[in-house]
Structure 1
Amino acid sequence: MTRVLVPLAILEGESVSSGLTTLLESANVTVLGYHELPEQTPPDQARDQYGSRATDALEDLAAEFGVGEGTADYRLVFTHDREQTFDRVAGETGADAYAVPGATGPIDRLLVALTGDVAVERIVSFVAALVADRGIGVTLFLATDDEAAGRELLAASSVRLADRGIDVATELAVDEPPLEALVDAAVGHDAVVMGERAPSLLTLVFGEDAERVAAESVGPVLVVRNGEDDESANVD
């Protein structure tokens, strides 16, 4: 079973949409409630002041994910470096992906980006396990300057999903700026799945690319970890 880490700025009231909780109901979920502190504020002091309120909110959010086949747990952190904390917790829990929450209702179709130096096999396996037999459609997207190789990759990846009974379409963008092409392709999809790119997942999750994709697509973005530093990753 897949595991997804869902970081939420808990004291800022960040929450999750019903569409995301439904999408992840077949996964194990770790809800990571965090609050980033000024350098001069000790974490223990913040925990004493805000810990009870934050924990109550986290319990409610974790309960929302604990529906269906999956299970959910939660962690609360007060940190001076959220990126470092997220990376550490992802490794400790063996998370296959991070979620960037977005506003969405029912999720009928995912856009799955295979562009760039990403772990295509892991992305496809993650999507197959996530979708399973729930009738969610998938569009595999690739932006490349090599049309022949791009079509070959899309065809091979789509067969793997189609063999699992998943409705698969493909979209190829040739000689187009990858980010702009992805943003355009996100229209008409309810959520986006992307892969971790070098040098760090966190530059994608919290950097300009992910923020733009999340803003333009409105819906959630799931970023699949490459798994190179996590032997406990559990995508089949």
Structure 2
Amino acid sequence: MKQLNLILGHIGGTLLLLVRSLKHLPTLPRQWGRFIEQCYLIGYTSLPIVTILTFFIGSVLALQSGYSMENFGAKQFIGTLVGLSVVRELGPVMVAILIAGRVGSAIAAELASMKVYQEVDALVTMNIPPERILVLPRLAAILVMMPALTLIGIVCGWYGGAIVCQYTHIISLDSEAYFAALKAYMKTGDVIDGLLKAEVFGFVIVLVCCYIGLNTRGGPREIGASVTKAVVSSLILILVLDYFVTKALL
């Protein structure tokens, strides 16, 4: 019961943080510099590893499925399998996991250190709401950058699968046939569903990491504990939300 009350308390605190942040939404245009900075940190600096990760995810998926489908004479459908898997599931989930590990940990560490060294208390003393300058720009930036990163990751995954199919001698499926199968069964709704999942994952990751960072208590040792807690909580929430969001979209 104690653990349940603790979990419910964290959920309530996270929702209250969201409400307090949204109250300052009219001030966002005046924080254009902070917004652009967060877009750069979240999006641009994460782009290289997103492209590498998703490219090889598509490659491995095509390689594994290609050997199996070759035995059943169905290798012409590899493009369909890779395309739908990457766009509906692997693309959004893997980008979200990457963002949780790279961006979420950085957010939690920065805000936790500010809390431990009383910089957040100084903002409150100067009547500057921390939610306005520390949380709101990050939430806005993730809503803009998460679909862009996911879309780039999806395309890289598709091309990773195409290259493996064309240059693996056992599969030997040219890129034209690969993309023809992909286009035949791919719908615009599939892409939209994948981007919506990415939006939900990214928003929850940033919100949870901000909450944990701003509620750090104790000395410098607690900064590392908050980072660990933020990343683990984000990864669990990604997998839990993946089920419910997928069910809702279906």
Higher-Rg member (1/2): 2
Kindly indicate which of the two structures has a greater share of residues assigned to helix: 2
* Pairwise TM-score range, normalised by the shorter structure: under 0.3
- TM-score where L is the length of structure 1: 0.24
- TM-score where L is the length of structure 2: 0.23
Kindly indicate which of the two structures has a greater share of residues assigned to strand: 1
